[in-house]
Structure 1
Amino acid sequence: MFDDECKGKDSWPELVGGEGKVAAATIERENPLVNAYIVIDGYDSVIENFCCNRVWVWVDKEHGIVIQTPIIG
């Protein structure tokens, strides 16, 4: 999944279970080469192409809690 051309930290498993907004800020702070986008599971859709400067932060609709490991892509 992770492209050799991508730079910096590429996944954040430690953010699962935390608040989506905090997770997005943490991701962008830990890897300033990426933009983190909050995506509501079951509600929002995403582009499926791979991109080194993008991280989807999947959250549950009810509480905004991160439900899967955010990774570059």
Structure 2
Amino acid sequence: MQIPSFDRLESTRRNRKLRNFFAIAAGITGIIAAVLVIDPMVSNEPLNAMPLLILAFLCFLCAGLTIYFHMRFISRD
């Protein structure tokens, strides 16, 4: 049985693609979360906007997780 060789260049390209994907996802979810937090403050309806604030928290959580995975793929190079 032959073991396929490890292609370091292909691995680096794949890590770079995943790193870029996670950076873009973190940026988009961060912007969405910021808009969802700022909108109730601007419209002066903080009590009616509780679902938006919960969604904003989830977006911030997703942004944090994507930054974590972004850093993991940076450390693999």
Scaled by the length of structure 2, the TM-score of the pair is 0.25
Scaled by the length of structure 1, the TM-score of the pair is 0.25
Larger Rg: 2
Q: Give the helix-richer structure, 1 or 2.
A: 2
Q: Give the strand-richer structure, 1 or 2.
A: 1
Higher RCO structure, 1 or 2 (CA under 8 Å, sep 6+): 2
